[in-house]
Chain A
């Protein structure tokens, strides 16, 4: 067993609110790990800390053994850690294809300035759009996509960087059951291809059916972790949800 992402003693305080209190856990390579917990338990803050958007006050984040907690979001992305946002975020005025092409895999600025996107990159982008099944919308401004289509586009965009680890913030939130099944299916397929997932999700059915491991957070720290079945039986978890 090999931990690809390790979070150790990460704390973050916003004014008077302790959003994360010495939070620690790790994600096994090749797993689908779910992060659950009541609203306000610090899940999204943890995502922001891990991906470089919010620097932690204390603690360490290691990706494949290397410390990343002081890197900027673009550097962390370059190291192979991608994320999606809870409120799905695409570039509304760029076309679907351009959205995917924006994502760069480790190319320098000079490189970017001198080059137009190559044929091979376009092909790769189109392949990713095929993969999430929105290829026919390639020339449409992303702003006119439906919510579910945006989620798929966001995933396709993140995949350009060939991430080793993907952090998804509520992939099943706000979409209809058919779309949920489709997204779940894509996640499993990517997992088979070797990508590790850390997923924040409220849809318990989705969590229990997808995950290898479940980590439960409450008040900024981890209160339980284990296989889906174990976590479900854990009295502390029930208490956290009901007592919150």
Chain B
């Protein structure tokens, strides 16, 4: 029983970390109408960045965020500026293909540099543990959860309590109308995408610390992130958080009570089952017929 409680705690903690990785996806979808398949690869690239900083320059992964966040932010700027903004029609579909291509290129580059050996980020707080209901939870989960809460809190403030956020929310409501109201749609899009990408620096550092990774891991990761976002109702930040925590708690309970082998299967299975009955996800509006 305590094992189950422990897995619930672990589920909540890792749910927070996954939500941090997924929140950028939600932002990009809501504001840019872009489904960013490269988000998973951004996370992996950021993990490699943290790894390299620590390995070759002995910079602590947490401290390294000061470097990795701006680097990822810049990468986001470049990708949005060079590819995403060129898409005029069929944005959703073409963005899926374009970002997939970006992910491939990045995967290729990372593969060339690091080959396909599994790496992981080490630090004292990765190995130290805290006992929680009979489970030994590594410190990194607690740090990760706290970091996720802080960063998502900042995003929340940015979106709901700033002028930038007001413009951003107007764009989520109606892109064209926002443009007519004199909102610089292009600038907000670029910044949003860059912020979403910047957040993956933290997500990547945490991901690399809680599990071993290689360039190939991005496929599994992006599938999970997309599933979280779709279950939350595309474009809803709160939805992504609830979906992320809910799924990870469920998956962790399955892992300890039954078998870890099947937990990932149910990660996808639960979502698809929910979508059968509620096609729009938890917090999404139903897809209306266009009339």
Write the B272-290 contact mask toward A (1 if CB under 8 angstroms, else 0).
Answer: 0000000000000000010
CB-based nearest A residue for B288: A54
Write the B22-65 contact mask toward A (1 if CB under 8 angstroms, else 0).
Answer: 00000000000000000000000000000000000000000000
CB-based nearest B residue for A83: B291
Write the A192-211 contact mask toward B (1 if CB under 8 angstroms, else 0).
Answer: 00000000000000000000
- Minimum Cβ distance to chain A for residue B162 (Å): 27
- Minimum Cβ distance to chain A for residue B176 (Å): 14
Which B residues lie within 8 Å of A85 (CB)? 291
- Minimum Cβ distance to chain B for residue A83 (Å): 10
Which B residues lie within 8 Å of A73 (CB)? 289
B interface: dominant SS: loop
CB-based nearest B residue for A48: B291
Q: Is A25 an interface residue (CB 8 A)?
A: no
Bound complex: CA A54 to CA B290 (Å): 10
Q: Is A91 an interface residue (CB 8 A)?
A: no
Within 8 A of A (CB), among B231-275: none
Chain A: interface residue count, which band? Answer: under 10
- Minimum Cβ distance to chain A for residue B220 (Å): 36
Write the A40-57 contact mask toward B (1 if CB under 8 angstroms, else 0).
Answer: 000010001000011000
Which B residues lie within 8 Å of A48 (CB)? 291
Number of A-B contacts (CB under 8 A): 8
Bound complex: CA A73 to CA B289 (Å): 11
CB-based nearest B residue for A14: B288
Bound complex: CA A53 to CA B289 (Å): 7
CB-based nearest A residue for B285: A15
Within 8 A of A (CB), among B136-166: none
- Minimum Cβ distance to chain A for residue B94 (Å): 16
Bound complex: CA A150 to CA B289 (Å): 21
CB-based nearest B residue for A51: B291
CB-based nearest B residue for A15: B285
Bound complex: CA A224 to CA B289 (Å): 30
Bound complex: CA A54 to CA B289 (Å): 8
Which B residues lie within 8 Å of A53 (CB)? 289, 291
Which B residues lie within 8 Å of A44 (CB)? 291
- Minimum Cβ distance to chain A for residue B279 (Å): 16
CB-based nearest B residue for A85: B291
- Minimum Cβ distance to chain B for residue A42 (Å): 13
CB-based nearest A residue for B289: A53
- Minimum Cβ distance to chain A for residue B173 (Å): 14
Which A residues lie within 8 Å of B291 (CB)? 44, 48, 53-54, 85
Bound complex: CA A54 to CA B291 (Å): 9
- Minimum Cβ distance to chain B for residue A46 (Å): 12
Which A residues lie within 8 Å of B289 (CB)? 53-54, 73
- Minimum Cβ distance to chain A for residue B280 (Å): 15
Write the B94-130 contact mask toward A (1 if CB under 8 angstroms, else 0).
Answer: 0000000000000000000000000000000000000
- Minimum Cβ distance to chain B for residue A199 (Å): 17
Bound complex: CA A48 to CA B288 (Å): 12
Bound complex: CA A53 to CA B291 (Å): 7
Within 8 A of B (CB), among A57-111: 73, 85
Write the B63-93 contact mask toward A (1 if CB under 8 angstroms, else 0).
Answer: 0000000000000000000000000000000
- Minimum Cβ distance to chain B for residue A168 (Å): 15
CB-based nearest B residue for A45: B291
Bound complex: CA A241 to CA B220 (Å): 59
- Minimum Cβ distance to chain B for residue A40 (Å): 16
Within 8 A of B (CB), among A179-224: none
- Minimum Cβ distance to chain A for residue B209 (Å): 45
Within 8 A of B (CB), among A5-46: 44
- Minimum Cβ distance to chain B for residue A203 (Å): 22
Bound complex: CA A48 to CA B290 (Å): 10
- Minimum Cβ distance to chain B for residue A201 (Å): 18
- The 7 nearest A-B residue pairs measured at CB: A53-B291, A48-B291, A53-B289, A54-B291, A54-B289, A85-B291, A44-B291
Given A44-B291, A53-B289, A73-B289, output 5 extra A-B contacts at Cβ < 8 Å: A48-B291, A53-B291, A54-B289, A54-B291, A85-B291
8 contacts between A and B (CB under 8 A): A44-B291, A48-B291, A53-B289, A53-B291, A54-B289, A54-B291, A73-B289, A85-B291
